Structure 1
């Protein structure tokens, strides 16, 4: 693909991502995307076979953006529990509170909309959440091996609870723009993690 073709494709993905974020998948029409990009149908279909393929590319871009925000400064933290705390802070304040996507948390919004409508698309999002929880669980396990975590903590349940809590805060923040939901969730998750320290 030539440079101009790549740039056009990237522009389509960026515009579609924000539109899907605000309007959802089913309420986004091809005409919405054409209006935002200034392309003709032929120009759009030269890059994507249809709306679902475009959504897949937008989803992958959303994952890249989310990772860039949520994992910022995490690699240099040696303490696995502090790493989990940093990810919570980055997710709540940098991603959700940072209004990265116009419509709020792209993944939560899409999961709610697509569940029961498209198992393939919803399953992809659910897998992403579970992969994230799996990473947090692995960090908790590493903390236990290092003697930083009390014995007997169920790593998977703790990680799932953290992901569920962050998504609840995200939904309440998106609907109200009240940062209290982000602050309180962050405070309580930090306190929860502190109680588990050895």
Structure 2
């Protein structure tokens, strides 16, 4: 990796926790100067705008989550084991976020809403990736006979992702990871029930 690429990567790695903790609006260039050790001009030498840096910082944080999911799924066989792995990985975000500040997807989605369309689009893309991942696993389980043929992969994906992101929010608001632990246990029971007759 060239020196410029290394510097750019270092800026992203050090800025990601600032954006994730303070939000896009709350993260000042002064904050970014402090964490990167570069002057404002040095940062702008690598990024055309604060938004460009925020987008790359978001991609960096969600990339860590994507890698955690990939590693967890690598050694798993069977639909339920794969789905449990996804639930467990996403369930760690409250206590072990990819960067300081909690779940970057939830944080960005809440802050961006309509104020920052590019960030909102990135957050929606990350959620869509999770929905597709869960939906694909469920579809494979139905196809392979592990899950009931009446199971709707899109509905299951929606329930799983919405439950986990809601649990992240409750865990952070109340500073109590028990909300996430309950959600993970509930989702595992829910997923187990999809293979039973009458699901």
TM bucket, shorter chain:
over 0.9
* Alpha-carbon distance, 1:86 to partner: 0.9
User: How far, CA to CA, are the matches of 1:42 and 1:102 in structure 2?
Assistant: 26
Alignment of 1:1-198 (within 5 A): 3-93=2-92, 95-198=93-196
Give 5+ residue unaligned stretches, structure 2.
Answer: none
CA contact (8 A) 2:62 2:104 kept: no
Aligned residues of 2:73 and 2:82 also touching (Cα < 8 A) = yes
Question: Pairwise CA RMSD of aligned residues?
Answer: 1.4
Following TM superposition, by how much is the alpha carbon of 1:42 offset from its aligned partner in structure 2, in angstroms?
1.7
| Counterpart-to-counterpart distance in 1, 2:61 and 2:97 | 13
Normalising by structure 1, what TM-score? 0.93
Q: Aligned to 1:26, what secondary structure does the other structure show?
A: helix
Q: TM-score, normalised by structure 2?
A: 0.93
Q: Provide the secondary structure at the position in 2 that maps to 1:74.
A: helix
Q: Which moved more, 1:57-66 or 1:184-193?
A: 57-66
Runs of 4+ in 1 over 6 A off after TM superposition: none
Q: 2 CA distance for matches of 1:173 and 1:72?
A: 25
Asked if the contact 2:61–2:98 (Cα under 8 Å) also holds between the matched residues in 1, the reply is: no
Alpha-carbon distance in structure 1 between the residues aligned to 2:85 and 2:9: 30
Query: Deviation of residue 171 (structure 1)?
Result: 0.9
Could you tell me whether the CA contact under 8 Å between 1:96 and 1:105 is conserved in 2?
A: yes
Question: Which runs of 5 or more residues in structure 1 are unaligned?
Answer: none
Q: How many correspondences in the alignment?
A: 196
